[in-house]
Chain A
Amino acid sequence: MTDFLQLFFSGLATGGIYALAALGFTLLWQASGTINFAQGEFVMLPAFMMLAFLTMGLPLWAGFIITCAVAVVVLGWGFKRGIADPLLRFGMMPIVVATIGLAIAMRNGVRAGYSAEAHSFPSLFADKLFNIAGVTITLADVGTLVAALILVVGTQAFLAKTVTGRAMQAVAQNTDSATVLGINVPRMIFYTFAINALLACAAALLVTPAYLAKFDMGEPLGMKAFFAAIIGGFNNSRGALLGGLIVGVCENLASAYISPAYKDAVALVIFMLVILFKPQGLLGKAVERKV
C-alpha cells in the first residue's frame, strides 16, 4: 500500500507539470485556435536558456526572471506575430505544419547549437524526504505539486476575476462579439500567448531538475500535454489540471505495476478511452458546432 501511495504522490508531481503545459496549450487553442505542436519545445527552450544563464554565473532566480522576459518576447510575441497571425486565416493545417516544423527546428537547433547531451539542472527544493504514515515523499514532489497547483489556480483566478482575464475569455468564446464590445482582441490574444510562455517557463523550472535538460525532453512532454488537455476537457482550464494529474499518476502506476517499457503509451490509452466514452473530456462541456 505504501508503494502505491508513493507512486501516487510522485505521479501527482509529474502530473502537475503536465498540467502546466496542458493549460498553456488549452488557452492558446481556445483563445486563438492555435494548435501548438511545439508546446514541448516551448518548455525545453527556457530550460536551456536558464542553463545558459547558470553557466554564465547568474543565480537561478535571476536566470528564471530573465528567461521569463525573453520567453514572453520570443515565444509569446514573436511566435504570435511571426507564425500564428499570418497563418491562422488559412485554417488549421498550415499552423499545425508550421508548429511541427518549428518544433523540429527548435529541437535540432538546440542539439546542434548548444549540446546533444543531457545536462543536470539544480532543483528549487532541497533534498529532503518526508515520511508520512510510512510513505516517503520528497520535498521536490510536494513543492512541484504545490507550485503547479498555485499556478493553475492562479491563472484560473486571473481569467475569472480580473477584467483583463474576462476580456480574454470573451475573446476565446466569441471573437466577433468581443471586438464589437470594444475589447482589444489582438492584445488579448497576445496576453494568452504570453501566459503560455510564462507557464512553459515555470514548467521548465519544475521539470528539468528531475528529467535533466536534453534537446528532446520536449517531445514526450508535449505529447502528454496534448493528451492531458483533451482528457480533462479542453474547454475548461480546470480540465487541464485534472487531465495532467490523471496522466501523471496513471503513468507512474502503470510503469510500476504493468511494465516500464510502455509508460509512454498510457496517456494514449486513457485518451482513447475518454474520447470513446466522454468525447468532450472529463470536465468539458459538450460543444455544439455552428453551421
Chain B
Amino acid sequence: MNRTILFGILGLALLLAVPPFLKNYGIYLISYWLVFVIATMGLNLTVGYAGQKSLGHAAFFGLGAYTVAILAKAGISFWLGLPLAAVGCFIIGLGLGFPALRVQTIYLAFATLGFNTAVWLVMRNEEWLTGGTFGMDISAYGRPGLFGLSLEKNLAYYYFVLGATVVLSGLLWALLRSPWGKAFTALRDNPIRAESLGISVQSYTLLAFAIGAAYAGIAGALFAHLVQFIEPAPFAVGTSIMMYLMVVVGGTGYFFGPVLGAAVGVLLPEWLRFAQAWYLFVFGSLVVVLMLWLPDGLLSIPDRLKARRQAREASAARANAARAVGVQS
C-alpha cells in the first residue's frame, strides 16, 4: 500500500516536471495518453473490478467528444458540455446495460459491440449533426478557459488534463475503498455468493458499467479539445477493442493497470511505426502470447514473483521441518 502511494507520487512528480522540456508532439502524446488513462480507468472499473466485459467503450468516448463538439458549435461552454457528456453517458450506459446484464455477463460484450457499431454508424451517416466523415473542426471555438487562465497552449491544456486525471483517479480510489468498491470486487470474484450476501448483482454491475461509461464520456470531452478535429474514425470498434486490451495488458483489477496499459497502447504504435503494415499483426500476436504467459496482465508480475518466492520458501520450510522430525523427504 505504501509502495503504491510512493510510486504514485513519484509518477506525478515526473509528469509535472518533465513536459516543459518536451517538444510539442511529445506534449501532445502525453496528453493523448492521459486522456486514454481516464477512459481505461473507467473500463478497468467495469472489467477489472466488476468483472464485466465491455467491448464498446469507444462509443461512450465518442459520445462525450461529439457532445462537447456539437455544443461548442452551438455556442455552449465546455464547462456545461463536460458534465452533460458525463451524465449523458452514464444514463446511456444504464440503458444499454440493463437488458444485457439481466441475462449473462458475456451478453454485455455482444451488446456493447453492436452498440459501438450502431453509434459509429450514426456518427458517420448523420452529417447534419456530426459532419459525417468530414468531421467537425472545433479549433475555431478555442479551448476552454479556466478561472480566467487560457488553456489554449498545448502545455497549459496538458496540465489541465493531468489535473483532471488526478482528480478522477482520486474519485475512483475513494470509490474502490468504499463499501461500493467492496461490493464490486465481490461481484467479480463470485457473483452468486455476493447475491446471497444481499448485494444486488444487477444493480451493482449496472452501476459499475454506467460509471465506466461516464469516465469514457469525460475522457471524450477532454479528447475533443485536445485534437480539435472530431471525426468518427477514432470511435469505432477497433478503438474499443484496443481500450479493452489496454486494460487487460496493464492488468485487470490493478489500480495502475490502465496507466501501464494505455502507455503500451499509445506508445507501441509509435515504436512499431517501422513495421508499418505488420504492426497490428505483431500487436495481435503479442496479445495472444501475453494471455498465454501472463493472463492477469503486466502488473501481475510482482505478485507472481512474490507468489513463487513464497512457494519456494514454504517448500524449503516444509523440507526443514520434515528433516527435523526425522522423516525422509
Say whether A and B bind each other.
yes
A105 on interface, CB distance cutoff 8 Å: yes
CA A101 to CA B287, docked complex, whole Å: 5
For chain A residues 85-103, which have a beta carbon within 8 Å of chain B? Answer: 86-87, 90, 92-98, 100-103
CA A281 to CA B285, docked complex, whole Å: 34
Give the chain A neighbours of B110 by CB distance below 8 A: 223, 226-227, 230, 271
Report which of B53, B107, B280, B288 forms a contact with A98, defined as CB distance below 8 A.
Answer: B288
28 A-B pairs (CB sep. < 8 Å): A82-B292, A86-B292, A87-B291, A93-B47, A93-B295, A94-B291, A94-B295, A100-B245, A101-B245, A101-B283, A101-B285, A101-B290, A102-B288, A104-B283, A104-B284, A108-B277, A108-B284, A112-B276, A112-B278, A116-B277, A223-B110, A227-B114, A230-B110, A262-B125, A267-B114, A268-B115, A271-B114, A275-B107
CA A111 to CA B117, docked complex, whole Å: 22
Point out residues on A near B: beta carbons under 8 Å.
35, 82-83, 86-87, 90, 92-98, 100-109, 111-113, 116, 219, 223, 226-227, 230, 259, 261-262, 264-265, 267-269, 271-272, 275-276, 279, 289, 291
Asked if A106 meets B284 with Cβ closer than 8 Å, knowing A93-B53, A97-B245, A97-B248, the reply is yes
Q: Is the interface of A mostly helix, strand, loop or mixed?
A: helix
Report which of A93, A96, A104, A265 forms a contact with B121, defined as CB distance below 8 A.
Answer: A265
Asked if A264 meets B121 with Cβ closer than 8 Å, knowing A87-B295, A93-B248, A96-B53, the reply is yes
Give the chain A neighbours of B192 by CB distance below 8 A: 289, 291
Contact between A265 and B103, CB atoms less than 8 A apart: no
Name which residue of chain A comes closest to B288, CB basis. A101
Would you give the 0/1 interface string for B141-184, flagging 1 where the beta carbon is closer than 8 Å to chain A?
00000000000000000000000000000000000000000000
Report which of B102, B114, B245 forms a contact with A279, defined as CB distance below 8 A.
Answer: B102
CA A94 to CA B297, docked complex, whole Å: 10
CB distance from A268 to the nearest CB of B (A): 3
Contact between B285 and A97, CB atoms less than 8 A apart: no
Point out residues on B near A: beta carbons under 8 Å.
47, 51, 53, 99-100, 102-103, 106-107, 109-111, 113-115, 117-118, 121, 124-125, 192, 196, 237, 241, 244-245, 248, 252, 276-281, 283-288, 290-292, 295
Give the chain A neighbours of B295 by CB distance below 8 A: 87, 90, 93-94
CA A116 to CA B277, docked complex, whole Å: 10
Name which of A108, A116, A262 has the most chain B CB atoms within 10 A of its CB: A108
Contact between A275 and B287, CB atoms less than 8 A apart: no
Contact between A93 and B102, CB atoms less than 8 A apart: no
Contact between B286 and A101, CB atoms less than 8 A apart: yes
Asked if A92 meets B106 with Cβ closer than 8 Å, knowing A86-B292, A101-B286, A105-B285, the reply is yes
Name which of B103, B110, B278 has the most chain A CB atoms within 10 A of its CB: B110
Contact between B284 and A96, CB atoms less than 8 A apart: no
CA A117 to CA B149, docked complex, whole Å: 50
Contact between B285 and A265, CB atoms less than 8 A apart: no
CA A230 to CA B111, docked complex, whole Å: 11
Give the chain B neighbours of A113 by CB distance below 8 A: 281
CA A204 to CA B240, docked complex, whole Å: 27
Contact between A83 and B114, CB atoms less than 8 A apart: no
CA A111 to CA B282, docked complex, whole Å: 12
CA A90 to CA B284, docked complex, whole Å: 20
Give the chain B neighbours of A106 by CB distance below 8 A: 284
Name which residue of chain A comes closest to B290, CB basis. A101
Known: A100-B244, A268-B118. 20 other contacts (CB 8 A): A83-B292, A87-B295, A92-B53, A94-B291, A95-B291, A97-B287, A97-B291, A100-B241, A100-B287, A101-B291, A102-B288, A104-B241, A104-B287, A105-B280, A111-B280, A111-B281, A268-B114, A268-B117, A272-B111, A275-B99
CA A267 to CA B277, docked complex, whole Å: 31
CB distance from B73 to the nearest CB of A (A): 23
Report which of A92, A98, A111, A227 forms a contact with B291, defined as CB distance below 8 A.
Answer: A98
Contact between B114 and A112, CB atoms less than 8 A apart: no
CA A275 to CA B109, docked complex, whole Å: 13
CA A104 to CA B249, docked complex, whole Å: 15
Report which of A93, A102, A226 forms a contact with B284, defined as CB distance below 8 A.
Answer: A102
CB distance from B166 to the nearest CB of A (A): 29
Name which residue of chain A comes closest to B113, CB basis. A223
Give the chain B neighbours of A268 by CB distance below 8 A: 111, 114-115, 117-118
Name which residue of chain A comes closest to B275, CB basis. A112
Name which of A82, A107, A272 has the most chain B CB atoms within 10 A of its CB: A272
CB distance from B128 to the nearest CB of A (A): 14
Give the chain A neighbours of B245 by CB distance below 8 A: 97, 100-101
CB distance from B209 to the nearest CB of A (A): 15
Give the chain A neighbours of B99 by CB distance below 8 A: 272, 275-276
Give the chain B neighbours of A261 by CB distance below 8 A: 121, 124-125
Contact between B53 and A101, CB atoms less than 8 A apart: no
CB distance from B296 to the nearest CB of A (A): 8
